[in-house]
Amino acid sequence: HAAEAQRTDLMTITRHVLNEQSRHPESRGDFTILLSHIVLGCKFVASAVNKAGLAKLIGLAGETNVQGEEQKKLDVLSNEVFVKALVSSGRTCVLVSEENEEAIFVDPALRGKYCVCFDPLDGSSNIDCGVSIGTIFGIYMIKDKDNVTLEDVLQPGTNMLAAGYCMYGSSCTLVLSTGNGVNGFTLDPSLGEFILTHPNIKIPKKGKIYSVNEGNAKNWDGPTAKFVEKCKYPQDGSSPKSLRYIGSMVADVHRTLLYGGIFLYPADQKSPNGKLRVLYEVFPMSFLMEQAGGQSFTGKQRALELAPAKLHDRSPIFLGSYDDVEEIKALYASES
């Protein structure tokens, strides 16, 4: 039989973004340059994550090297790589990282018009057992790069220009939206390039999976408890939903995006604002969900309409398939 076809026309992430940008000539390649620096950070982390188990085995992580310097933990190292890559792109003026208490204002000589909010290595408690982890990022445009203030960073998610995540799992997948749908790219390790493998991702309108840390159930509010009860004991004759929870937001959201369903990190009595951070967890994932045809809700409002007051603010979050999020919205509406 015929030899397996070899693809010869490779749609790399750079080529894809350049194509998309030809519709916005005013951005003159700046966004493409910024993205290529983010991609470099992701490749570095992918490579470091792949070696993490090995590094431990041969006694590198957390120990002192020959120069007497302590080896950096993977999340600290990833953060440094992203900060340096973003600053050196010359396209950013302010950065917000989960790893840094304060916003990082870029030296005026290297300033560009973008603000990037990111979590360099989310789910890092999963590293030591080899479970998927990821990088999450959201990108804004700043009005005046020469007079950038903290207020410029605390914008509602509806102002976001682009968002994405990179998942370091059984394969390394980068999912990106520049406000024109969602596309997924998989790293071809032999080429060192992200290749378009999941064009125009649309989340199923309704899903069969719910994803939540049920260990917090005793502290949940009424609507969350009712919703999960309905997932397990549906009253309308439908089948119960399956539960899948990895405890790594990127992996849980990635599965939700591809298979449908709902991911929730609700408020509870112990954490009235939930756990996940608005700027670099809730906003980027909500942007992607909406761009894929799903929804994202906080229990009170559309998640992207939140206006964070502080850099590391948290919010409850329910995101996923359109119909599933409608259900939780109805439960909150009937409560108030």
In the complex with Mg ion, the residue whose CB is nearer, 27 or 271, is 271
In the bound complex, what is the minimum distance in angstroms from residue 190's beta carbon to ligand AHM?
29
Question: Counting Cβ atoms within 10 Å, is residue 237 exposed (0-12), middle (13-18) or buried (19+)?
Answer: exposed
For residues 12 to 31, the per-residue mask of contacts with ligand AHM, x marking binding by CB under 6 A and - elsewhere, is: --------------------
On whether the CB atoms of residues 164 and 284 are closer than 8 A, the answer is yes
Q: If we measure between CA atoms, which residue out of 43, 41, 32 comes closest to residue 80?
A: 41
219 is a contact residue toward ligand AHM (CB under 6 A): no
Question: What does 275 bind: Mg ion, ligand AHM, none (CB cut-off 5 to 8 Å by kind)?
Answer: ligand AHM
CA–CA gap between residue 295 and residue 278 (Å, rounded):
16
Q: Which does 248 bind (CB under 5 to 8 A by kind): ligand AHM, Mg ion, none?
A: ligand AHM
**Residue 122 touching ligand AHM (CB under 6 A):** yes
* 258-297 footprint of ligand AHM as x/- string (CB under 6 A): -------x---------x----------------------
Applying CB under 5 A, among 41, 83, 86, 122 the residue interacting with Mg ion is: 122
Per the CB < 8 A criterion, the answer to whether 298 and 306 are in contact is yes
Contact between 123 and ligand AHM by CB under 6 A: the answer reads yes
Give the residues across from 177 on adjacent strands: 163
Q: Is 75 among the residues that bind Mg ion (CB under 5 A)?
A: no
Shortest Cβ 277–Mg ion spacing (Å): 7
Contacts by 43-47, CB closer than 8 A, 24 or more apart: 43/187, 43/192, 44/78, 44/81, 44/85, 45/74, 45/78, 45/81, 45/120, 45/121, 45/135, 45/166, 45/168, 46/166, 46/168, 46/172, 46/187
What is the footprint of ligand AHM within residues 177-216 (CB under 6 A)? 213
291 binds, among ligand AHM, Mg ion, none (CB under 5 to 8 A by kind): none
